[in-house]
Structure 1
Amino acid sequence: MKHNFIYLGLLQLTNFGRIQTNAFGISTVRCRSDPRRRFAVVGRTRSTINPDDYDLLPPDDEAGSDGNNRNADNPQVEETARPELKRRLYQLAASYDRGFGATPKARREADEIIEKLGALNPTQDAARGIDGDASITHVPLKAMWRMIWTSAFDVVSLGASPFAAPSAIYQDITNPPIATNIIDFIPRAQTLINFSPLSSLLRAEVTTRASSRRGIPNRVGLVFEGVKLQPIELLGQNVSDLPPLTVDLTWPRSVVEQLASFVPGLDNYLGLGENGVDKNADAPGYFDVEYLDDELLIIRQQVPGGLFALVKVDNCDP
């Protein structure tokens, strides 16, 4: 009963609406009962980005995303262009709050930088080993990644809520083929205070199963498997020991259909096949790797579109 009151308090505090999931994470849609309300959840700290935090040395691998080196005749161009382009992207990310506060001009500049980086992509086969094949020792995408920039409207719109703000956003691919999208939310007022003894945080996780696509070496297919909402902190109290609100999308379709009207976001999956898996051999969602080196990952999601830039980090501790 105590747990129920805490969850109810979290949902009321954050003006809970309906969750949507996509190839990267969680977005919001308007609540059926009140079209003026939006999904908002709580968190603790807004992440900041300092371009000096990242090593800008270029990797040694000179292969392009299609296996061909686009600047083979002049490798010095790559050696000087990559770090400069990355530096400019990091500066944009820091100046425009990861894209949440970006102007149209800033978005165009970021798109141009990413396009140029894509032409210098050093990774030939980014999806290698993403299926979890134990015989493959080097999996390029295997890491913990933290988002520093996005142009995806479904993610940028998370910052529009007057009640809550997205804090750190991660993509956890440390245990392929499982790829988990993590979004931490904090109260909007908490972003205005350097220290708050009544801080709150709610973590949303979307679990997907990744797979490679035959003939497309830099494309990663995704099948959604579950959604979890885990309260971490509520008004300064650690509540991470509370059981999370979890929905397993591999349950039989009939069960998912019965729950769809009660659990936000489940109706997004009613187009899936039996046991939550699309009957099509190709996973229903995917993203393309535009650029990947030892520190920076840039991906383009399929639907509803948009670019993500992420840097490699050691963990996703809130």
Structure 2
Amino acid sequence: MFYYLIRKLLFLIDPEKSHTLTLKYLNSKHIQTLMDLFLKPISSIPTKCMGLEFPNKVGLAAGMDKNGEYINFFDKLGFGFIELGTATPLPQLGNTKPRMFRIPPIEAIINNMGFNNLGIENLINNIKKSNFNGIIGVNIGKNKNTSIENAINDYLICIEKVYCYANYIAINISSPNTKNLRNLQNGILFKNLLKNIKKKQKEMYRKYLKYVPIAIKISPDLSKNEIIYISNQLIKFKIDGVIATNTTLDHSVILKENKIEGGLSGLPLQKKSTNVISILYKQLNNQIPIIGVGGINSLNSAQEKIESGANLIQIYSGLIYHGPKFIRNIIKNL
């Protein structure tokens, strides 16, 4: 109840400003001390995925902590893993503001951020400064000014830089907010991307004698045939995991007069992402694990993702609409 009262006040502020102010406050030493006093550790069953042992199945989705500035706070909420980013080789401002919008009646968020971040080097420095000993995933993307034809180089740069600091790396080729990015999910561009990132992974393994799994994050707007194609290529190139899904461009649930550009997340994405997971699960035949994300707003919807084939789940909008207690409840009962 307390969180919902606070949420009313926060929802009076611009979403992006509210996001930043809230996280800065919650990440303060004073709040961290209080959390240590009042938040008891959550007992949960560890789970293995991508060769890693996760304390529990519930993770923070990318986008919440783009620059790795709030790792210690999210650690205290009990997440089994935290995915940072999306980070790009060079810092960039992202798209023009305003670029984040809430739609409370349907528990949705639309964002048109455009990979705004302080760059991969800054993210690495923040990982080094954190006290987190759990699983950290780093979500990487291409810079806006890098052409699709040269996009592979941006991913390879990020993999090389972050390899020693991430437990797994997520390749974001499915954000709808960077022009033509989703083309990387198709045809020869997709094959070349997988081929080159797998080659880089092998190179880094030989150099550091450390294997860092790589997962591909895909769109919810793919056709069944496109998902089948992607599944076959993931198996062929022995990719370690797939994250399903990113935000959707399907805004059919929103009134025409409220049309806003950007990717839609939250409750309207729930069934769409679960459907993609179901198709992936059938096609991958347990050869590649699935991380399910999209519209989880209850214990039932979290269980539905698992029952549809997800090995792990991630939460973003659910945390904004329902608060930390919601996260801890899912971890305890999933």
Q: TM-score, normalised by structure 1?
A: 0.28
Report which structure shows greater RCO (CA 8 Å, sep ≥6): 1
Q: TM-score, normalised by structure 2?
A: 0.27
Q: Counting helix residues as a fraction of each chain, which structure ranks higher?
A: 2
